[in-house]
A and B are shown apart, each in its own frame.
Chain A
């Protein structure tokens, strides 16, 4: 069974700092990995999607990397802002490319607080 772990569970950093969030998974036979953010009382917002054949994806101040062999992904946030405060979750699609055989597993999330 695929297990997805995010450490730490919570993180506080001063505004302006760069930071890294971690995601690890036990089964490397993944189809892709996605990073989401969730604001309190809201649904999830997709941030980045990395295909299994890719090493990284970038969007603005966000950069996500993927190392399948070691079962790890990182989300790098540059020049953090108070608006970045949220819970960040990674999710892994496990399986082959035929849609219908994949399993989607979410990590437990990292609650990020940016201190003004």
Chain B
């Protein structure tokens, strides 16, 4: 298996632009997680899905952030409009199901908003 796939790996954009991050989970996994990592705040869970349904989005910082999972093999995290403080590494992870199962992380997307 190719593991969790994220694209793009790097994204540089100007403030105010829309940014879309993409994730393909491991085939057969039914839980998907979006994280953000910064030096200041560490690793934060933004949202997670189970069977394509958002379970907890309390970590989403504000309305500028939205996430979708239209099917079991694809998810997006969108920021509109982007701001410099959104600069971070965004990770996607997937697992077989409930918290008893290990999470497998993608390589991350490094986002820079200028």
Contacts and interface: CB of A to CB of B under 8 A. Distances in A.
Interface of A: 31-32, 34, 42-46, 49, 51, 89, 91, 93, 99-100, 102-109
14 contacts: A31-B99, A32-B99, A32-B100, A34-B102, A42-B108, A43-B108, A46-B104, A99-B98, A99-B99, A102-B56, A104-B33, A104-B99, A105-B45, A106-B45
What is the interface of chain A mostly: helix, strand, loop, or mixed? strand
Interface of B: 4, 33, 42-45, 48, 50, 55-56, 58, 91, 93, 97-100, 102-108
Given A49-B102, A100-B56, A108-B42, A43 B97 contact: no
What is the interface of chain B mostly: helix, strand, loop, or mixed? strand
Contacts of B103: 34, 44, 46
Contacts of B102: 34, 46, 49
